[in-house]
Amino acid sequence: MDAFTNLTGIVMPLDRANVDTDAIIPKQFLKSIKRSGFGVNLFDDWRYLDTGEPGMDNSGRPINEDFVLNKPRYQGAQILLARKNFGCGSSREHAPWALLDYGFRVVIAPSYADIFFNNCFKNGILPIILDEAMIDQLFKEVDANEGYELNVDLEAQTVTTPSGEVIGFDVDEFRKHCLLNGLDDIGLTLQHTDDIHAYEEKRRQNAPWLFR
Amino acid sequence: MAGKTLYDKLWDNHLVRIDDDGTALLYIDRHLVHEVTSPQAFEGLRDAGRKPWRVDSIVATPDHNVPTTDRKAGITDPVARLQVETLDQNCVDFGLTEFTIDDIRQGIVHVIGPEQGATLPGMTVVCGDSHTSTHGAFGALAFGIGTSEVEHVIATQCLVQKKSKNMLVSVDGEVGEGVTAKDIVLRIIGEIGTAGGTGYAIEFAGTAIQALSIEGRMTVCNMAIEAGARAGMVAVDDTTIEYVQGRPYAPNKAQWDDAVEQWSDLHSDDDAEFDSVIRIDAASIQPQVTWGTSPEMVVAVDATVPDPANEADEVKREGMQRALDYMGLTANTPIEEVQVDKVFIGSCTNSRIEDLRAAADVAKGRQVADNIKLALVVPGSGLVKQQAEAEGLDKIFTEAGFEWREPGCSMCLAMNADRLEEGERCASTSNRNFEGRQGRGGRTHLVGPAMAAAAAVAGHFVDVRTMKQAG
């Protein structure tokens, strides 16, 4: 996993609540056995006018010009501004893989679905929670200013607007540590092998039917 | 000090270690694996030279991608075939138990786990699928995980977790005739909203939940995630224990009494405190039909399509209007006047034997309406299919004009050939009515199995309670 420390990037607004992971990456692309290559199919149903299939040449497909991802002013965006309950539904990690593969490293929303939120941290994406009023303000600022960029500093836990307004955010200490250093947690968990063995031995004695 | 909730007990029983900030290592007893969310995890294990911590904790089966038509020809879609073959190979390479596509025990992971007794009271159960909450019906802590966590559990038998808050949803009293577990859970989601359970583990309780069969409880827990909660659960009682006894992975005779004694503690203490409590009067629940593109957009069958004009909140109003536009519905239309094109009876929510019996009861002696292009019945597992055929349910369905298929996830998420075309409207017993879920441009209405069969027969939504039993 790539570390995340500090980023200044263009913000793309996605102004709808309850965006589900089926919308982020439709099911037909989940047949892949790889982790990469999902970016061209991010928001596929909304982004193209035809039905996408895996292995298709996406370059010639008809584009939905009205969808925000296709607007010239948001090309190269690395920060996704979203509404509440972002990433609800399916547990598919293909959703953060698609966001990352497209180029997004930060999502800012008032709330997230639990599984998606968790999956982001496993893939070097920082999901930031800000209150609804602040989210409303950011939507207005993005809309009014072409090329609108935010600076996101994970160490300092701040989002800074172009006018210099500094907005603090909370992040779990353990997750922050892993993200700042690009650490995968399997290695960290395996440092506690003795604890796991000790628990397991007790479990085996108390509930032997779980072990076959 | 207050007593413990069921969730508190399950959490405490699986705690390997916990840091001062609450970051915990939780031991996982059962890991269910399927073809879609596992290949990248196995690849990760290989790349790092890691082995599974405990192979006997894992049960695998292909379900999402498998065809539901005749399987003698194999899987014709090469991309899907490669994914299923990859699961087969990974299970061979790592020494895991798999119910392969030609095994009678193959089926939807959330159907076969309980069916085999691989899901037991008091367990932690995980799977790379959000509907893992289903297994909470057994007084287990069960939740969906992403692929990185699939790899993490295989390698370490643990997950890094923070404890959720406790929510109690109590459905008190008795539901009326013809009101099912699906109607109960849709009503709950309508009440608390699609994010109402975010950050919580939900315990479903109350007399109406206790009165449900274990299959009904699975339907309720299955959709906890549609209310935002990763885990839903029901306390253990005699219904649970009777269901488990004698299943292949259940405790053997020598272990049985010990197991039952341990399981008898799997309920919330009388003085347990919940962070949130929701109470619903069971008698007020009618058969439910969703009208929009989120499971919270749900009304009783005798209601009308809601009018966004009556919604004060601007973001909500826009969401409602967008849903109506997508669904091709006009506000204030009676639900019973909405015609459907396809009917899907199946999915991890409603593909068990009792679901098929309920649907067959309605289909018996009747015919699928002329305007229905396809009415599919997809059993949840090979064993459910076998049981249904032994009871003659397949004949009832096919004589009525339904198609009787092989087990799998099928049109719940339409990864295989079973799907909606642009603009088609479906009465579906599945769990998600998201845009494009059953096929790009497809319009999904979630209902229970009897309501789906009734819609197939009538050609439009109808209150199944008003249909007289056919000879």
Least Cα separation, residue A206 to chain B (angstroms) = 9
Per DSSP, helices labelled H in B117-202 are 147-156, 181-192
Phi/psi for B123 (5° steps) reads -80, 160
The residue whose two tokens read 């920082």 is A126
Give 10-residue mean pLDDT values along chain B (471 residues). Answer: 94 97 97 98 97 98 95 91 97 98 98 98 98 98 98 98 98 97 98 97 98 98 98 98 98 97 98 98 98 98 98 91 98 98 98 98 98 98 98 98 97 93 98 97 98 98 85 43
User: pLDDT tens-digit profile of A101-153?
Assistant: 999 999 999 999 999 999 999 999 999 999 999 999 999 999 999 999 999 99
Which of 110-169 (B) contact A at CB < 8 A?
Answer: 120, 122-123, 128-130, 144-149, 151-152, 155-158, 160, 162
Question: B435 contacts in A (CB within 8 Å)?
Answer: 22-23, 45
Going from the C-alpha of A148 to that of each of A49, A206, B29, the distances in angstroms are: 28, 59, 48
Q: In angstroms, what separates the C-alpha of A21 from chain B's closest C-alpha?
A: 10
One-letter identity of residue B252: N
Q: Give the pair of three-digit tokens for residue B87.
A: 């699961």
**What is the model's pLDDT at position A212?**
86
pLDDT of residue B70: 87
Secondary structure class of A15 (helix, strand, coil) = coil
Q: Specify the pLDDT at position B471.
A: 43
Chain B residues within 8 A of A85 when measuring between CB atoms: 194-195, 198, 228
Q: C-alpha B461: how far from its chain's center?
A: 22
Report the residue of chain A nearest B155, measured CA to CA: A186
In which order are the strands placed within the sheet that holds B15-18?
A: B15-18, B24-27, B158-161
Q: Are B58 and B96 in contact (CB under 8 A)?
A: yes
Nearest partner of B10 among B240, B229, B211, B232, judged by Cα: B232
Inter-residue contact B348 to B378 (CB < 8 Å): no
Q: Do A45 and B77 touch (CB under 8 A)?
A: no
Closest listed residue to residue B63, CA positions, set B85, B84, B42: B84
Q: Answer whether B198 touches A (CB < 8 Å).
A: yes
Tell me the chain A residues in contact with residue B85 when contact means C-beta distances shorter than 8 Å: none
Give the pLDDT confidence score for residue A1 in this predicted structure: 86
pLDDT at residue B469 in the model: 60
The pLDDT assigned to B1 comes to 75
Position A18 pLDDT exceeds 90? yes
**pLDDT for residue A184:** 85
Q: Would the CB atoms of B16 and A192 count as touching at under 8 Å?
A: yes
**Paired sense of beta strands A106-109 and A149-153, if any:** unpaired
Nearest to B27 among A51, A174, A199 (CB): A199
pLDDT value of residue B73: 84
Q: How far apart are the first and last CA of chain A?
A: 35
Contacts of B225 in chain A (CB under 8 A): 89
Report pLDDT digits (tens) over B99-139: 999 999 999 999 999 999 999 999 999 999 999 999 999 99
* Cross-chain Cβ contact B129/A200 below 8 Å: no
How far is B230 from B222, CA to CA, in rounded Å?
10
Q: For B284-319, write each residue's pLDDT tens digit.
A: 999 999 999 999 999 999 999 999 999 998 888 999
pLDDT at A39 over 80: yes
**Closest CA relative to residue A33, chosen from B94, B101, B44, B71:** B44
* Helix A94-102, helix A114-121: angle, nearest 10: 50
Distance from CA of B98 to the nearest CA of A (A): 15
Residues near B357 by beta carbon (within 8 Å), at least 6 away in sequence: B391, B393
The confidence score (pLDDT) of residue B468 equals 65
| Interface membership of B21 toward A (CB under 8 Å) | yes
Among the partner-chain residues B120, B259, B435, the one whose CB lies closest to the CB of A23 is B435
